[in-house]
Amino acid sequence: MKILVEVLNRQRKIKLSSKRVAKVARQIIRYLYQSKEFSKFQFEKNQILRISIVLIGKERMKEINFKYRGKKYVTDVLSFSYLEDINISKELYLGEILINPEKAKIQAREYGVSLWQEITRLLGHGILHLLGYDHEVSETHARKMGKLEQKILSNLKP
């Protein structure tokens, strides 16, 4: 499986390495693939898996959160899955993840973790959303997604 990760940095407040963001995203996808989280998809071993990650500022994140979710506040991560449009081809586009590094930095301080640990958590969270997980459906879904996020964090080195 080849994993292509495109990272666009559309913010200037927090310095982050796009290469490192892409590397962590690939590690998460590989971990989820090996742990059979992709088994519900007819994904072939030689298929190319593509994902986009966009780092954006708080004002833009607030606008997008309102436009697509009707929520008038800055959030840390948003995911837009394109798996509904699956066609069995050489390439599978999972979707797009938007991350707000300013919010991630604040949360990292609150949680007592490094910025990279929080970015890793947000990437894992976003990728799980792309795969169909939704913590807002029920407590059961939230617990399942939370446990999987913890497994991702404990199995990766951010």
Which structure tokens are listed for 39?
């088994």
Whole-angstrom Cα distance, residue 97 to residue 144? 20
User: What is the CATH topology of the domain spanning 2-155?
Assistant: Collagenase (Catalytic Domain) (3.40.390)
* Backbone angles phi and psi of 30, in degrees to 5: -60, -45
pTM of the model: 0.91
Give pLDDT tens digits for 76-95.
999 999 875 555 567 788 89
The residue with tokens 């898996």 is 49
Amino acid at 75: T
Give pLDDT tens digits for 17-47.
999 999 999 999 999 888 877 766 666 667 7
